[in-house]
Amino acid sequence: MDAQTIIAKRIARELRSGMLVNLGIGIPTLVANYVPSDIQVFFQSENGLIGTGRPPEEGMAHPTLTDAGGRPVTALPGASTFDSALSFGLIRGGHVDLTVLGGLQVDQGGLLANWMIPDKMVPGMGGAMDLVTGAKRVVVAMQHTAKGKPKILKECSLPLTSVRPIDLVVTEMAVIAFPDGRATLTETAPGVSVADVVKATDAELIVPRRVPEMVL
- What are the tens digits of pLDDT across the range 79-121? 999 998 999 999 999 999 999 999 999 999 999 999 988 777 6
For the cut 70, the answer to whether the pLDDT of residue 77 exceeds it is yes
Residue 113 · residue 158 · CB < 8 Å: yes
Instruction: Pick the catalytic residue from 14, 46, 204, 213.
Output: 46
For residue 180, CA distances in Å to 53, 153, 167, 183, 205 come to: 36, 17, 10, 9, 13
The pLDDT confidence band at residue 63, using thresholds 50, 70 and 90, is confident
Amino acid at 112: L
pLDDT of residue 170: 98
Half-sphere exposure of residue 58: CA atoms within 13 angstroms, side-chain side:
0
Catalytic annotation present for 46 = yes
- CA dihedral over 59, 62, 68, 70, signed as positive or negative: positive
- CA dihedral over 212, 111, 102, 173, signed as positive or negative: negative
Residue 134 · residue 22 · CB < 8 Å: no
List, in order, residues 6 or more apart from 97 with CB less than 8 Å away.
16, 19, 20, 21, 135, 136, 137
